Amino acid sequence: MKFHYLVILSVLAVIFVTACTQQQPVYEITIPGHGSQIYSFGQDVRQSLQIPISNELPIMQKIYSAKTINFVFDGSTEDTPLFQIVLFNTVERFQTFFAYEGKFLGADNFQGYYFIENQWYNKTNHEIEEPVFANDGVVLWLRGPNTGAKTNQVQLDGNIIYVDGIDRKNIEMSADRLTLAVFGINSVE
């Protein structure tokens, strides 16, 4: 009988220790040198940091040196509302972050383009010719579950940074992964 109690107590002790050591989700971070600024995220930062990112340092350098950040996406599907959330959050975080870094990024530094079939539109929903992106800018091409994302990742290909997510949560986490890379965050304590 004593043996059964010891086994039960041991199992309960292991469950208790495991429960106590599991990490809680992280939705807010601070960055040294940015005062009391809190950067908030809709997804757990630890999970976002697990999204694969290729060529992290070149991506960071491209965004740091860019005079214009161009967001591009396929506007013909149900992914568009997801992209709008990602765009809003990314622009807001970048503007705040770069202000602390001494670089002003106003509304003119962010351009949005989308296409429906073969017709292109700018961020004010006006029809335009297919955009030509300047060498001093960078292109962030968003791909979601209905617009070409096959996996969750951030990938650099030439001057285009693809931000892919196979569903709502993962497109947000991929965009957060890009943001965290720009912030120089690779882990949270």
pLDDT tens, position by position, 131-146: 998 888 999 999 999 9
Residue 104 confidence (pLDDT): 93
Question: What number of other Cβ atoms are within 10 A of residue 164's Cβ?
Answer: 24
CA distance 13 to 3: 15
Q: pTM for the full model? A: 0.86
Q: Assign residue 59 a region: left if phi > 0, alpha if psi is -120 to 50, beta otherwise? A: alpha
What phi and psi, each to the nearest 5 degrees, are found at residue 29?
-135, 160
pLDDT over 70, % of the chain? 88
Q: Which domains does the chain have, with CATH numbers?
A: 28-183 (3.30.379)
Residue 23 confidence (pLDDT): 84
Residue 1 confidence (pLDDT): 53
Residue 38 confidence (pLDDT): 97
- pLDDT above 80: residue 113: yes
Mean pLDDT of 46-57: 96
Which carries the bigger pLDDT value, residue 3 or residue 145?
A: 145
> Which tens digits make up the pLDDT trace of 14-43?
444 444 446 899 999 999 999 999 999 999
The three-state (H, E, C) secondary structure of the chain, written as one string: CHHHHHHHHHHHHHHHHHHHHCCCCCCEECCCCCCCCCEECCCCHHHHCCCCECCHHHHHHHHHHCCEEEEEEECCCCCHHHHHHHHHHHHHHHHHHHHHCCCCCCHHHEEEEEEECCEEEECCCCEECCCCCCCCEEEEEEECCCCCCCCCEEEEECCEEEEECCCHHHHHHHHHHHHHHHHCCCCCC
Residue 2 confidence (pLDDT): 56
